[in-house]
Amino acid sequence: MVYRNRTLKSTILWISIPVTMLFVFITGLFSYLLASNQLEQNAFTSISDTVSQTQSFLNDKLTDVVTSLTILDSDADLSDIMTRTENPAYSLEPDDYLQFNKVLNRASPDRGLIDSMLLYYNYDRLAFYRKDDLTELVKVSLEPYKIGLATDPTSIIHWLTLHTDPIGESFNQNKNRKVVSLFKLLGKNVEQSKGIILFNIKDSFFQTILSNPTISKNGYLCLVSEDGIISYKKVDGKYEFKDSELQPKLIQTSQASGEITVTNEYGKEMLIVYDTLRINKWKIAAVVPKDELFKKVNYIKYLIIAVMFILFGFVIFFSNFLANVITRPIVQLTKKINTIEEGNLEVEFREMSQNEIGVLNRGIRDMICRIKQLLTEIENVQEKKRKAELDALQFQIRPHFLYNTLYSIMHLIEMDEKKNASRMVSALSDFFRISISKGSEIIPFSQEIEHINHYFTIQELRYGDSFTYEIDLDPAILDHQIVKLTLQPLVENAIYHGMKHIRNKGHISIKGIIQDDDCVIRIEDNGAGMSAEQLAKVNASLSDKHTGEGGAGFGIYNVHKRLQLNYGTKYGLSYESNPGTGTVVIVTFR
């Protein structure tokens, strides 16, 4: 009865504020009590996740290096050169050096990861040391690499932890350059080794990986092997942990991953969370002072209390806001909204008074009208996108491309080139598999690059060495999504038109970067190029839908429009070209 004599605003305030504040207080209290235990566990989990992710990343990168070493070891051209050097009368010819450089280029791993490579065989008959793009003739001794390996005859790839490169420092100004090495001895066993294949990994790679994650002020990541520890962060003296104590504790653990608590010589409890690299059984460990870990937990607890008081103020503000907004006519408006929620957009909105409810009424009415218009536009856009995708697929999977590829396969089989025929069949199969993509229009950019690689494989097998190509991408681009079948028409255009009228060897370059949160791909050829007039016509045709003589062509226009339909009008294709210097097509998406 008391509330009947109050205004609607005061009634809402007297009911909502006490009830809501009580609810916030109870919720905050229980959150505070639960957080004291849960947040501590979350801190452990966060460190474990950091260790696990770092282990996974390191394992993948080092696996790539091992794969490159294996590829180099099994290369047929390299085996041919090594076999020829078995003859004492044979001297390496210039062609051998060129062939050897091609072998190194084929097997060369990530340049940002590898510091140098060494190939030594048959007692200096074949002894090359490559750093960056420079190859040096060197003389080395295998004895330092045989030490300690005789007890492990089953190992194929061996690792050396961070050390000074004894070979590179003989002609490098930086005498103290540190590297991590992996190598394979060539021969029947360690004692009868006639050579070595060795990759040196940059110290800066491990420094970046181990220094970037922020564990805590005095927490750090380290990499532990049987022959040493790699770590970079300097900590306060009271939190230091001797390598001679840390190394055996981790090497002797029977589990691949886990956590242990130890006390250093200064009486500080240190939490060690570790995991194991599958590629070489090294341990990646996070060493964290426990008192710093609990400080972070306490900070979060106090933050919860502060947030709770902020919510008290928000409750008072929001309740007052509701009291000013809510009036009796809102009930009628709610009924209409409920009707809209049931899917009926044909609701009649009568004109109301000029107060807040009247404005809301007119806003909803206008919104319904816009929704109807948007639904119609969306249906039209979806139909255009479907037709554009179908046209693009039809343009890509053209009969003459399939016919020429199958004819090339038949020709290879007749020439008893079964291996190349099998490669072309496999590439063609993967080409069409990615083209279909289970009906998906948007695919990861990594799949689009895989699609292009299969296309290049087919064209290389068809045309031999009449052209070369390179793909250089920012790794972050591979995680982005792109409209499928975007790059292949552009590459095909570069092969069939860009390099058609040149006599020298063609080259196609695909480079990708992330610029202002947009992905920018540049496809460049060294073909005949276009005149300024032709270039203007091509770029103009992409915007005015003219694809006739001198325009961009129907397939290229389709790629451009599909990008705009999915990402917006500021995205799509643009061309750059000069006569005699080639053409560049720029693809922009996000």
- The string of pLDDT tens digits covering residues 530-557 is 888 888 888 888 876 555 555 677 778 8
Helices 290-325 and 8-73 meet at what angle, rounded to 10?
140
Q: How confident is the model at residue 527 (pLDDT cuts 50, 70, 90)?
A: confident
Do the Cβ atoms of 270 and 263 come closer than 8 Å? yes
Cα 536 from Cα 575, distance rounded (Å): 9
In this predicted structure, the answer to whether residue 575 has a pLDDT above a threshold of 90 is yes
Taking residues 563-583, report their average pLDDT. 88
Q: How confident is the model at residue 229 (pLDDT cuts 50, 70, 90)?
A: very high
DSSP 498: I
In this predicted structure, the answer to whether residue 392 has a pLDDT above a threshold of 60 is no
Identify which has the larger pLDDT, 372 or 445.
445
Domains within the chain, CATH numbers bracketed = 1-326 (3.30.450.20), 329-367 (no CATH), 397-589 (3.30.565.10)
pLDDT at 151: 44
Identify which has the larger pLDDT, 31 or 209.
209
- Report the chain's mean pLDDT, rounded to a whole number: 80
Taking residues 20-30, report their average pLDDT. 79
In this predicted structure, the answer to whether residue 1 has a pLDDT above a threshold of 50 is no
**Edge to edge, what strands does the sheet with 134-137 contain?**
134-137, 126-131, 114-121, 195-202, 178-186, 158-164
Identify which has the larger pLDDT, 404 or 465.
465
pLDDT at 150: 46
Amino acid (one-letter) located at 197: I
What SS3 state is found at 222? strand
pLDDT at 326: 65
Q: Which of 293-297, 425-429, 573-577 has the lowest mean pLDDT?
A: 293-297
Identify which has the larger pLDDT, 400 or 275.
275
How far lies 579's CA from each of 494, 510, 523, 532, 576, in Å? 14, 20, 17, 8, 11
* Residue that the structure tokens 């004291």 belong to: 36
Cα 92 from Cα 96, distance rounded (Å): 6
Report residue 227 CA to chain centroid gap: 32
Taking residues 318-332, report their average pLDDT. 68
Give every CB contact of residue 563 below 8 A, 6+ residues apart in sequence.
Answer: 483, 486, 571, 572, 573, 587, 588, 589
Q: Which of 135-144, 217-226, 374-383, 396-405 has the lowest mean pLDDT?
A: 396-405
The tokens describing 13, both together, are 């305030």
Give the DSSP H or E segment for 75: none
Identify which has the larger pLDDT, 435 or 97.
97
Do the Cβ atoms of 257 and 274 come closer than 8 Å? yes
Taking residues 401-412, report their average pLDDT. 73
Cα 500 from Cα 488, distance rounded (Å): 17
Q: How confident is the model at residue 356 (pLDDT cuts 50, 70, 90)?
A: low
In this predicted structure, the answer to whether residue 398 has a pLDDT above a threshold of 60 is no
Do the Cβ atoms of 158 and 184 come closer than 8 Å? yes
- Cα-based torsion angle of the residue sequence 203, 209, 214, 216 in order, rounded to the nearest 10 degrees: -60
Q: What would the pLDDT profile of 265-321 be if each residue is shown by its tens digit?
A: 888 888 999 999 999 899 999 999 988 877 766 777 777 778 888 888 888 887 777
What number of other Cβ atoms are within 10 A of residue 408's Cβ? 19
Q: Which of 192-196, 222-226, 311-315, 497-501 has the lowest mean pLDDT?
A: 497-501
What SS3 state is found at 500? coil
Do the Cβ atoms of 247 and 214 come closer than 8 Å? no
| H-state helical runs in 444-526 | 445-463, 487-493
In this predicted structure, the answer to whether residue 528 has a pLDDT above a threshold of 80 is yes
Cα 131 from Cα 198, distance rounded (Å): 12
- Cα-based torsion angle of the residue sequence 30, 33, 37, 43 in order, rounded to the nearest 10 degrees: 80
pTM for the model: 0.47
Taking residues 337-350, report their average pLDDT. 67
